[in-house]
Amino acid sequence: EGAVVEVAASPYPYPLPVEHTALVMIDFQRDFMEAGGFGETLGNNVALLRASLEPGARLLAAARKAGMLVVHTLEAHKPDLSDLPRSKQLRGNLPPELRIGAEGAMGRILVAGEPGNGIVPEVAPIEGEWQVHKPGKGAFWATGLHEKLQARGITHLLFAGVTTEVCVQTSMREANDRGYECLLVTDATGKPSAAYFPEFKEAAIKMIEAQGGIVGWTADTAAVEAALT
Ligand code: C5J
C-alpha cells in the first residue's frame, strides 16, 4: 500500500515504497568528523569525510519532506563501558590515554553524551526521529533496531553516513541478511575522494552492486531527490 517511486540506481532501478522506507544516517558524529575525536586518534584525516555533509543534509531534507522515517545511529558506549568488549578497547595498540573512554579534546572518546559523541549540526536529528546508540560497527548488533523497524513495517533502507568502509558497510550487510532492500547513497557517505580510505570506498560500492546487487543498490542523492519529488 502507499506510493512506490523508482530511483535510478545501480545495478538496476530501485523501487522505493515511501511509507515502508527509512533513511538511516550512520554515525555523523563529531568523533568521526572533527579533530580530537576517535577517528583522528586512529590516525585518520577526518577532514576527508566532510564532503558527505552537503549531500547528507539534502537527503535528510528530502526524506523529511516525503514523511519518511529517519533513523540516526551513533557509535556510543555507556559511560561505565560495560558494553565495550575488551577486544575493541585494546584494538589499535593505542596507549591508555587514547583509548575509547579516555578523556579527549571533545570529552571522553566514543562515550554517549560527551560533546564529541554528538551528531554534527549539519545533519542533526529533529523531534520524532530515532536515535540509536550502537556499541558495534553495525547498527543491528545489540540495538533492537530490527525489531523496532519490523514493528513499524519498514522493508526498505537508504544508507548515508560515515564511514562507508566500516560502519555503513557493516550495517548494510547486516540489514541485507535480515531481508531489507538496501540502497547506499554514494555521495552522502563522502565522494570517492572523501573517505578515510578512498580506494576502500570505491571497492565498497563495487562490492555492493556486483553480482546483481548482492548486498543492494547504489545511487546518488540527486537520484533519490528526483524520485521523491
Ligand atoms: C569507525 C564508523 N570507522 N562509524 N566507525 O570506526 O565507521
Q: Is 10 strand, coil or helix?
A: strand
Higher confidence at residue 53 or residue 48? 53
Among the residue ranges 33-47, 123-137, 147-161, 175-189, the one predicted with the least confidence is 33-47
Q: Name the residue at shortest CA distance from atom 2 of ligand 1.
A: 167
Indicate which atom in ligand 1 lies nearest the CA of residue 42.
6
Above 70 in pLDDT, residue 190?
no
Above 90 in pLDDT, residue 88?
yes
Among the residue ranges 5-9, 20-24, 81-85, 190-194, the one predicted with the least confidence is 190-194
Residue 53 is predicted with a pLDDT of 95
Above 60 in pLDDT, residue 192?
no
Q: How far apart are CA 73 and CA 25, in angstroms?
A: 6
Q: How far apart are CA 84 and CA 164, in angstroms?
A: 22
Burial pattern 81-103, b for ≥16 Cβ within 10 A else e, equals: beebeeebbeeeebeeeebbbbe
Residue 34 is predicted with a pLDDT of 93
- Going from the C-alpha of 100 to that of each of 56, 66, 111, 167, 214, the distances in angstroms are 27, 38, 7, 16, 34
Mutate to test the pocket of ligand 1, among 166, 174, 201 (most ligand atoms within 8 A of CB): 166
Q: Dig out the grid coordinates for 221 from the structure.
A: 542523492
Q: Report the share of the chain in percent with pLDDT over 90.
A: 84
ipTM greater than cut 0.85: yes
Q: Dig out the grid coordinates for 142 from the structure.
A: 545489540
Residue 62 is predicted with a pLDDT of 98
Among the residue ranges 110-124, 151-165, 172-186, 199-213, the one predicted with the least confidence is 199-213
**Has 78 been annotated as catalytic?**
no
Residue type at 176 in one-letter notation: N
- Going from the C-alpha of 53 to that of each of 121, 171, 187, 203, 205, the distances in angstroms are 10, 19, 9, 21, 19
75 lines ligand 1 (CB under 6 A): yes
196-202 average pLDDT score: 85
CA 4–ligand 1 middle distance (angstroms): 32
115-144 average pLDDT score: 98
Task: State the alpha helices, DSSP H only, in the chain.
Answer: 30-33, 38-41, 53-66, 86-90, 145-151, 169-177, 198-213, 221-228
DSSP characters for 115-175? GGGSBPGGG---TT-EEEEESSSSSSTTS-HHHHHHHTT--EEEEEES-IIIIIHHHHHHH
**Has 148 been annotated as catalytic?**
no
